[in-house]
Amino acid sequence: MSLKDSIDLNNLPKHIAIIMDGNGRWAKSQGKNRLFGHTNGVTAVRETAEGCAELGVKYLTLYAFSTENWNRPILEVTGLMDLLLKTIKIEVKTLQKNNIRLKAIGDIDALPGNTARELRQAKEETAGNTRMDLILALNYSGKAEIMKSVKQIAEDVKQGKINVADINEEMMTSHLYTAGIPDPELMVRTSGEQRISNFLLWQLAYAEFYFTEKFWPDFDREELYNAILTYQNRERRFGKTTEQIKGEAK
Ligand code: IPE
Ligand code: IPE
Ligand code: MG
């Protein structure tokens, strides 16, 4: 039986979030520059998006550029922005073919003008697609996202629209970039690093984490299946006991 056949389609994560890490080390290991790694990471993005859509995953969030990534060498930053621009332009056809809707989270307005424009256009073109949402985290910071929500709620309190006592989790969630999107059940990080790097701090509260040593350009469908199978073998307890989860106790 292949890995894919072992997956229980009734217990799929609805939303998978991935920290695509290790492009630079992948390139370095072959004596190439870091941008070569980023360029080759695009194949893994395509494989993963198609693999998720085929299985029936409804949301796939990919961490593509953090607010901290602006601190990289200028040539890498401009190279990444160019790659993003080109990739969105080219891949829009594949998204249409696969009935995938493109979304973005992060401070999109602060991206270079042409990148932001291309992204907006691709979002509009794919807005009617229904099979899966592909959400790119771009110029994204989990802390900034939470701050944004807090500020908007504070403003509503100040204007007398709501009382402090009305503030609840639902309200916080509705002001996040991810409003309307369910929290990820599974978070994957490649390249052996085991940290969250300011990704979806609020939304990952109860996600299962899966770490693989593979560098992002080497990530493929089989790796995706491995991650999902590992997730399916976890017991998600949400604070309860095993006995309660198994229905042996109340
Ligand atoms: C992830 O790969 C891609 C981005 C952060 C844009 P890295 O570029 O972080 O690769 P490593 O971690 O240096 O190997
Ligand atoms: C996190 O990867 C950001 C993205 C994958 C876009 P980094 O490689 O930038 O993370 P740190 O800085 O090593 O934690
Ligand atoms: Mg990295």
**Packing angle between helix 34-55 and helix 221-232, nearest 10 degrees?**
60
Answer yes or no: is 2 within a domain: no
Q: Write out pLDDT tens, residues 149-178.
A: 999 999 999 999 999 999 999 999 999 999
Report yes or no on 32 lying in a domain: yes
Helix (H) or strand (E) holding 169: helix 169-174
Domain-located, residue 1: no
Q: Quick one: average pLDDT of 18-36? A: 98
21 annotated active-site: yes
Q: Is 69 a catalytic residue?
A: yes
Structural domain containing residue 96: 10-249
- What's the number of domains the chain is made of? 1
pLDDT band at 56 (very low <50, low <70, confident <90, very high): very high
Query: What is the mean pLDDT of the segment spanning 6-13?
Result: 98
Flag whether 98 is in a domain: yes
Residue 102 has pLDDT above 90, yes or no: yes
Q: Is residue 48 part of a domain?
A: yes
Residue 111 lies in a domain: yes
Q: Could you say which of 33, 40, 69, 166 is catalytic?
A: 69
Question: With bands split at pLDDT 50, 70 and 90, how would you rate the model's confidence at 249?
Answer: confident
Average pLDDT, rounded, for the chain: 97
Instruction: Name the residue of 19, 23, 196 whose CB sits within 8 Å of the most ligand 1 atoms, as the mutation to test its pocket.
Output: 23
132 Cβ neighbours under 8 A, 6+ residues apart: 49, 52, 53, 57, 58, 59, 60, 98, 99, 100, 101
pLDDT band at 53 (very low <50, low <70, confident <90, very high): very high
> Could you tell me the pLDDT band of residue 1, with boundaries at 50, 70 and 90?
confident
Ligand nearest to the CA of 38: 1
Residues in the chain: 250
- Say which CATH number the domain at 130 has: 3.40.1180.10
Q: Which listed residue (21, 23, 40, 133) is catalytic?
A: 21
